[in-house]
Structure 1
Amino acid sequence: MITPPAPTTFYRLTVTTATCSSLGLADFQKRMTVQELSKEGFSALASTIETLAAAERLTAHKNAVTLRVNALKEQA
C-alpha cells in the first residue's frame, strides 16, 4: 500500500515547484498586437498588402483590402 506524503513534504514540493518553475502567468495568457493606420498610410500600403495576400493565397484578405481601397476612392 502506498502512503501519501506527509503534509510538510507536499507543501515543500509545491513551494519549490511554484518558485522554481520555468512557466509563469504570461505563458497562459493570450497576447495580441493591435495596429492602426491612417487613411493615407493604408492607401500607401494597400498595393503591397494585396500583393502579399495574393502570394500567400489569402484571397479574402486581398478582397477586403480591395473593397476598402474602393470605398476610400468613393469617399474622396
Structure 2
Amino acid sequence: MSRKARKRAELYEKLYKDIRRNVKMYSKKETADLIKMKYSELWTEKKSIKDREIDIGEIQADARKEVYYIAADGN
C-alpha cells in the first residue's frame, strides 16, 4: 500500500471509530454537511473537491428512512 493510500485509509478508520464511539442521528443532508465541515481540514488544498468529498455509506434499514449516523461532538 502506498503512503498516500495508507494515509487515506487511516483517516477513514479514524472516522469509523469516531462514529462507533459516539453515535447521533441526523438527516441525510445534515450528515453530509457535518462530515464535510468536520473532516475538510484533513485534506490539503491541492486536492480537488471530488477527492475531498467523503462518500456516505448507507445500510438497507437507513435507506428507507434516509437517516444516517455520524459522530456527535456532544452538542
Whichever of the two has the greater Rg, that structure is 1
* Normalised-by-shorter TM-score class: under 0.3
TM-score, with normalisation over the residues of structure 2? 0.24
TM-score using structure 1 length: 0.24
Normalized per residue, the structure richer in strand is 2
